[in-house]
Amino acid sequence: MKTLTQLLGMLALGGVMLATTAWMASAQGQPPGGGNGAPPEAIEACVGKAVGDACSMTNPRDNRSAEGSCISTPEKQLACLPAGAPAPGN
Q: Is residue 72 part of a domain?
A: yes
Q: Domain range spanning residue 77?
A: 42-85
pLDDT of residue 44: 96
Q: Residue 62: inside a domain, yes or no?
A: yes
Stated pTM of the model: 0.58
Residue 20 has pLDDT above 50, yes or no: no
The reply to whether 18 falls in a domain is no
Q: In this structure, is residue 61 part of a structural domain?
A: yes
The reported pLDDT for the residue numbered 64 is 92
Rounded Cα distance, 70 and 27, in Å: 26
pLDDT bracket for residue 7 (50, 70, 90): very low
Q: In what order do the strands lie in the sheet with 65-72?
A: 54-58, 65-72, 78-82
Q: Decide if 22 is inside a domain.
A: no
Would 31 be classed as within a structural domain? no
User: How many domains would you assign to the chain?
Assistant: 1
